[in-house]
Amino acid sequence: MYLESYKTMEEKQRINSLKEFIKDIPLTAEVYWYLQQASTPPPGSFSLGELKNRLPQLLKDASEARQFSETGKRVLIFTALSTWTRQVTVLGLALAGLGHDVSFGFLPYTTWKEKERKFDLRRQVAYIKKTLKPAAPLLNIVSLWEKKNNIALPAELEEKIKEAALRDVKYSLMREDVDVNSDLYKLRLERNTTFAKTILAWLKDNAPDMIVVPNGSILEFGVLFHVGRYLDIPVVTYEFGEQRERMWLAQNRDVMRQETGQMWDAYKDTALSNEERERIRELYAARRGADLWKNFSRQWQKTASQGGEEVRSTLGLDQRPIVFLPTNVLGDSLTLGRQIFSHSMTEWIVRTIEYIIERPQYQLVIRIHPGEQLSWGPSVYEILGDYFDELPEHIHIIPADAAINSYDLVEIASFATVFTTTLGMEMAMSGLPVIVVGETHYRGKGFTSDPHTWEEYFGFLEKLLEEPAENNLSKEQVERAWTYAYRFFFDYPFPFPWHVQHLWDGVEEWPIKRVLSEEGLNKFGDTFRYLVGEPIKWRRVKSKT
């Protein structure tokens, strides 16, 4: 009978004690797993069963393509956690098929929030190695968890690791106020520090030409980004949004910062064609109408539009000017660290409420982001309840699950103030004045008000409250907003076949053989070149969309 089949609590405790006792004895975990059932993942870990089943065909396609490819770069790709392990494997094989010398670095963790036993991690390492062993001719499989090194970290990196640990805790708890004395912070600091030392030593010894890493904002992904940049190794980070067959990528930058400056410089003076204008109008209509649209897989609203006046009546709003404040999801990697002059998004909301409390001749409507319904953290609604026992009648807070379409609020608002939500860009498309207080991709693009201090912020508020109609956006600013929105949605994401959330659907539609064929490279070839550091040519990107 295998140890994992014991059921009583006493027996499980004895097993865990045994695991703890033998955890550091060489090969005990590996032998235990092989004797237990080497064809399945260790209990409690993630499964790579589907990847294992598809690996022979993936390898065949990549190997055949590699025969005709020129020698490329030495590339380190990195993964941790289950979803990324599958996606990065497929990407790594494609890069190998294109002729690159690919090292596949991995960590065996199944969670980023809890400490895992060394015994279990060693079994997970053995399972991942065995699953990926057939890929050895194309991928240099590197268990970075086993490469631990106690090299001293430079002060610059130590500071980055502390910042990364704090961000990880905020992301994990989905809140901005976190305790640096908590067990979670200590865990994240320990894991990030250990990995930083490991990867710093490994990179010095192996010196790849390129690093390719998902996200680059959080967890060990972010640690690798910072260490790579410290060593002046080119790093490409990538992520996925709501569009299938599209990815965001950034060269030597954190992709979640969505730095669109170079893209906008290339296109800002190019007017939209009739076809492009119709395309962005259709997308905007779908977002307003709570519909899915073409390759977009996310529904931005759950409630269909009822019209502005219907919502005004439902919420008990009158004809006083309305300041609209839509929030972001707390802890989201598109929100964390985006403050400019406020300490946090929460502080900005609280101080805005306090400002409007003293001005009952106006109304403030705060719309809690509907995406909070899919979040694991506290709602901004609850957090604001801790600050204000009772609010006056001219201030309204709409919960995340309210059957209210946010675009109906746009229709009746006098102006808006936002942190980083994309809704701010869309309100500018409607001609509505928008004050942007966080570092978001559309700030500074010529159609928003962008304060840098509290004094400037309250100055913008006062100006718009006193003369809202006189400060509506000009025709040129509205056109600029529409042009930017098109470029952001359709030119900024790059064509890519294997979305992390729809990986196997993508592989079915675009197997490696098809992706690396003339047809596939015509569609995706530029993206693969940008992933390994070839400078992005935005005009060329436009011709491929």
The reply to whether 419 falls in a domain is: yes
pTM (2 d.p.)? 0.87
Q: What is the per-residue pLDDT across 277-322, written as a single tens digit (0 to 9) for each?
A: 999 999 888 877 644 334 433 444 455 567 788 999 999 999 999 9
Boundaries of domain holding 453 = 266-491
CATH code assigned at 428: 3.40.50.2000
Q: How far is CA 428 from the centre of its chain?
A: 24
**pLDDT tens-digit map of 135-157:** 999 999 999 999 999 999 999 99
Number of domains in the chain: 1
Instruction: Map residue 197 onto helix, strand or coil.
Output: helix
Q: What is the DSSP string of 85-104?
A: HHHHHHHHHHHHHTT-EEEE
Q: Is residue 306 part of a domain?
A: yes
> How many angstroms separate the CA atoms of 180 and 407, rounded?
39
Whether residue 21 lies inside any domain: the answer is no
Query: Amino acid identity of 221?
Result: F
Residue 407 lies in a domain: yes
- Residue 16 domain-assigned (yes or no): no
Q: Which amino acid is at 144?
A: L
Q: What is the H or E stretch that residue 159 is in?
A: helix 155-173
Q: What is the pLDDT of residues 422-447, one digit of tens each?
A: 999 999 999 999 999 999 999 999 99
Determine whether 455 is exposed, middle or buried from the number of CB atoms within 10 Å of its CB (0-12, 13-18, 19+): exposed
* 95 in any annotated domain: no
In a domain, 361, yes or no: yes
Instruction: Round the average pLDDT of the chain to a whole number and report it.
Output: 89
The closest of 231, 153, 229, 230 to 192, measured between CA atoms, is 153
What is the rounded distance in angstroms from the CA atom of residue 81 to the CA atom of residue 113? Answer: 12
- Checking if the pLDDT of 479 tops 90, the result is yes
- Please check whether residue 169 lies inside any domain of the structure: no
